[in-house]
Amino acid sequence: MKQKEILAFAALSLAWGGAFYWIKVALEQLQPVTLVAWRLLLGAVLLGVTAWLKRAALPRGWAQWWPLLALGLINIAIPLVITTSGQQYIDTGVASIVLSTVPLFTVILAYFTLKDDKLDTWQLAGLLVGFAGVVLLLLRDVGGGQSTWWGYTSHLIAALLYAASAVFARKALHGHSVIVQALVPTAFSGALVWAAAPFVESPLQAPTQLMPLIGILFLGAASSYLGYMLYYYLIRAIGPARMSMTTYTFPLVGILLGVLFLNEALDAYLLLGGALVLSSVFVVNRG
């Protein structure tokens, strides 16, 4: 990867890897759907202002609109709601680890659908090494939490949806700027979640406590606003399979935040698993 792509890769890893911690913090006051609604509202407003300043051209005709709206549903609304709900019953570190299965789903889907997105032997080996690191980290954390089947299942379903969305975006999104690719799905998914929130969670709450408020600001500005722009930029620049490797860094970010702020242990499992994950990212993105 080029230097610009490496920086974007690192920034996306931090923006989305840190989301697990801040979701946990915001859930101390807010219910899951309401949390997602506030997050997407802030992200959509920031994206809208950026699009207006850059005078970005919006899609024309249903043929250009429907792929963006579909991504809003399958890449944002559904996975965010179910994973935020699932994080009520799963530890932060475990959540980040389970969602790291995205590259596995992405590689399989890309292999059958994208002619120009194949992995060579070294890249496949790197993928397997990264998966071994994820398994090692999972063995470290799975025994110590209060995780439930919904916590695991929600994140596995989301991983499959994220993988399918990345491949779909590479095939279906052409001719749109990165800002429009981020704005339309975010605004549409936000509208869907806000429409549903009063029916599933009542009364709706605003983040009034300091830490949940900081969490919403991080999730809206870093994870949704910056994160989605970097996401579509990297899909275009390096392809969905390599872009999805950012999810292999989620356990490192999620567990590191736990070590720094939640007094979790820094042990051999964490160090070795982290080394395997980082080495896999280097190998798969060496081209």
pLDDT at 143: 57
Amino acid at 256: L
Domain, as residue range, for 111: 3-284
Share of the chain above pLDDT 90, in %: 44
List of the chain residues with pLDDT < 50: 287
Mean confidence (pLDDT) of the chain: 86
Per residue in 113-130, pLDDT (tens digit) is 766 556 677 778 877 887
pLDDT at 184: 96
Per residue in 141-179, pLDDT (tens digit) is 565 555 567 888 899 899 999 989 988 887 787 778 889
Q: How many domains does the chain have?
A: 1
What pTM was computed for the model? 0.85
